[in-house]
Structure 1
Amino acid sequence: MWSYDDLFLFIKVAEIGNFLHTARNLGIGQSTISNRIKKLEGDLGVTLLRRNTKSIELTDFGRKLYDKLKHSEQSIKKLVDDTLEIKEIPSGALRVVLPPAFSQSYIMPRLMEFMAKYPEIKLHLFFENKMQELIKHGIDYAIMSQIPEQQNLKVKFLFESHFILFCTPQYVAKYGAPKDLEGLIQHKVMTAASDFSILQQIPVTNLKSGATTIVTLPDTIASNNSIVTKDIVYSNEIIGGGFLFLVQDELNSGKLLHVLPEYSFAATRYYQIRHPNEDSLKVQIFARFIESCFKLECDNF
């Protein structure tokens, strides 16, 4: 006789699309999942999945069963989450994707406070700037600068961060500072790189007027890593660029100077992305924690 446990395991496999990733997500053996799905198919007398080496595909009957059952899973999950909320003890594994640079500046310094407050949460962190197939990898919550192609994810805009130019006071003492965009060509400027392309010609926006100008930066040194760029700027021989959150503390202390502060040399929008069926207490609490970290960035700009 089939069991409810096996039905809900089938839902998870159908949702993620891969035995291995389902096993990692649920913390059980891949062979256990495969055997239980085979047993369910035998109990029902139908084939639910077509298997290959890398993924699974639902049969017509499997698709129909999944479409019926996934709504039941959400109802039962809500009952469980409501019970947890009554206990007010968020717990369990929480799989999270975060952007590396922002996390280093604004999230990591506060992370252990969060963990001390919610000791029953097991936090699994993955630092990525780009990631697709969040559901397949069992990700509960992500902060990303690009919205994944999956259409059924919960997406919320968090804030926009600006790419700025900066240098050390020692650089200004040696070489002066550019007074306007045209003056940049007289200076050594470390340009940005992305996907193995050098971003020399970039649209620059005047933050007061909103006007945008295409500026060609000198090709001296280029890097795709803002943390490395900041280290090189401390040689006192070059102007570098990076997102404001990366250098905000140094700007406040005077260790670095904001070059042409009336201009934004790029802007990135950050989004909160959540699993479509995931609304547990632990996710809600972590989302509020992250939004408080992002509020620091917004307040500082």
Structure 2
Amino acid sequence: MDRLGDLDVFARIVAARSMSAAGRELGLSPAVVSKRMRRLEERLGVRLLQRTTRSLALTEAGRGFHERVVAILASVEEAEAWAMSGAAEPRGLLRVSAPTSFGRMHVAPHLVRFLAAHPQVTVDLALSDAFVDVVAEGLDLAIRIADLSDSSLVAKKLAPSHRVLVATPGYLAVRGTPADLDALARHTLLVHGAPEWRLDGPDGPRTVRITSPLRTNSSEVVREAVLSGAGIALRSTWDVGSELKSGALVRVLPAWRSSARVAIHAVYPSRRHLEQKTRAFIDFLEELYGATPYWDAGLRL
């Protein structure tokens, strides 16, 4: 009995949201795909998918099982990639998506070293803050800074992501340094997106409601505003690490930080055979950033 193959069929169905689409990817008929799903559910003794004539949805058991299956298949892919690492040189067009600021600051400057190490690879790097459908856009991988616990894609953690409150020394000299969260109400708070901060600290989780004099859909606008001394902002250390080290920015209420459980990941479709070019780029980024990425080195977090 091909247990690993059944897991792959299940993962493909979830990713494609269709048995027929999964069958086309695998070169199997809809009848065979349906039979293998039925065999898997019978072996487990639970229903994994709720089927209707028009849609498929994971059951509660299916969601938990899927998270574990994706991890298993990712481990298999990694083992196969390791075994084949000397079998072929990375080559071809590598299509990568990354968030605008992160890609500009922490991907683009390092591409020359990656390309020098892999001269048969061409990189197409697209920067966008919009959610990009990796499969629909034909991407080899995307870099995402998010909580990906329920993603249908394989996610490889590249580095932690810390978000802290910051301001310029000049702003604090004029307006004073807040002693607690309640004191933030007397300060200029800079934000884009949702008008609140969810923070964790000594008193547990707290939500800070924000009325900001600046409204923008751009994180980079908020970055420039806080650097100009306009107020206090909640920023990622990958974004302002160098300014914290130089003293251009300082931590505000250092016992508090964002409560969002996010990290920097490389995500890619679940495939049994990960191409060498994709594996090489993931390995390159993982080595470049590491458990303590260079932008966090020397910071007290």
Same fold (TM over 0.5): yes
Q: Radius of gyration: which is bigger?
A: 1
**Partner amino acid for 2:267?**
I
With structure 2 as the length reference, what TM-score do the two structures score?
0.64
Taking a change above 3 Å as real, the CA distance of residues 281 and 230 of structure 1, as seen in their structure-2 partners, is: same
Which range is displaced more, 263-272 or 175-184?
Answer: 263-272
User: Please, which of 212, 215, 220 is the counterpart of residue 219 of structure 1?
Assistant: 212
Q: 3-state SS of the aligned residue for 2:28?
A: helix
Q: 3-state SS of the aligned residue for 2:191?
A: strand
Q: 3-state SS of the aligned residue for 1:192?
A: coil
**2:161 is aligned with 1:161:** yes
In the TM superposition, 1:22-101 aligns within 5 A as: 63=24, 66-67=27-28, 85-86=85-86, 89-101=89-101
What whole-Å deviation, never above 9, does each CA across 1:98-119 have from its counterpart, x for those lacking one? 1222222222222211111211
**Partner amino acid for 2:252?**
V
Which range is displaced more, 271-280 or 244-253?
Answer: 271-280
Alignment check: 8 A CA contact 2:94 2:278 kept: yes
RMSD between aligned residues: 3.5
Taking a change above 3 Å as real, the CA distance of residues 103 and 159 of structure 1, as seen in their structure-2 partners, is: same
Hey, what's the Cα distance between the residues in 1 that align with 2:228 and 2:83?
Answer: 57
Following superposition, the deviation at residue 286 of structure 1 comes to 0.4
Alignment check: 8 A CA contact 1:133 1:150 kept: no
Following superposition, the deviation at residue 64 of structure 1 comes to 10
**Partner amino acid for 2:245?**
N
Structure 2 stretches lacking a partner, 5+ long: 1-14, 30-80
Taking a change above 3 Å as real, the CA distance of residues 64 and 159 of structure 1, as seen in their structure-2 partners, is: closer
**Partner amino acid for 1:293?**
L
Aligned partner of 2:196 in structure 1 is 201
Aligned partner of 1:28 in structure 2 is none
Hey, what's the Cα distance between the residues in 1 that align with 2:195 and 2:129?
Answer: 22
Following superposition, the deviation at residue 187 of structure 1 comes to 1.2
Q: 3-state SS of the aligned residue for 1:224?
A: coil
Aligned partner of 2:78 in structure 1 is none
**2:215 is aligned with 1:254:** no
Hey, what's the Cα distance between the residues in 1 that align with 2:103 and 2:142?
Answer: 12
Taking a change above 3 Å as real, the CA distance of residues 64 and 247 of structure 1, as seen in their structure-2 partners, is: closer
Aligned partner of 1:141 in structure 2 is 141
Q: Percent identity?
A: 25
Aligned partner of 1:274 in structure 2 is 268
Taking a change above 3 Å as real, the CA distance of residues 58 and 105 of structure 1, as seen in their structure-2 partners, is: same
With structure 1 as the length reference, what TM-score do the two structures score?
0.64
Aligned partner of 1:103 in structure 2 is 103
Count the aligned residue pairs.
229
Q: 3-state SS of the aligned residue for 1:288?
A: helix
Alignment check: 8 A CA contact 1:191 1:241 kept: yes
Following superposition, the deviation at residue 173 of structure 1 comes to 2.2
Q: 3-state SS of the aligned residue for 2:215?
A: strand
Hey, what's the Cα distance between the residues in 2 that align with 1:82 and 1:180?
Answer: 50
Hey, what's the Cα distance between the residues in 2 that align with 1:128 and 1:263?
Answer: 29
Following superposition, the deviation at residue 264 of structure 1 comes to 0.9
Following superposition, the deviation at residue 200 of structure 1 comes to 2.9
Aligned partner of 1:173 in structure 2 is 173
Aligned partner of 1:291 in structure 2 is 286
Following superposition, the deviation at residue 258 of structure 1 comes to 1.5
Alignment check: 8 A CA contact 2:158 2:285 kept: no
Alignment check: 8 A CA contact 1:106 1:294 kept: no
Following superposition, the deviation at residue 214 of structure 1 comes to 2.0
What whole-Å deviation, never above 9, does each CA across 1:15-47 have from its counterpart, x for those lacking one? x99xxxxxxxxxxxxxxxxxxxxxxxxxxxxxx
Alignment check: 8 A CA contact 1:135 1:275 kept: yes
Following superposition, the deviation at residue 266 of structure 1 comes to 4.5
Taking a change above 3 Å as real, the CA distance of residues 164 and 284 of structure 1, as seen in their structure-2 partners, is: same
In the TM superposition, 1:177-196 aligns within 5 A as: 177-193=177-193
**Partner amino acid for 1:92?**
G
Structure 1 stretches lacking a partner, 5+ long: 1-15, 18-56, 69-80, 194-198
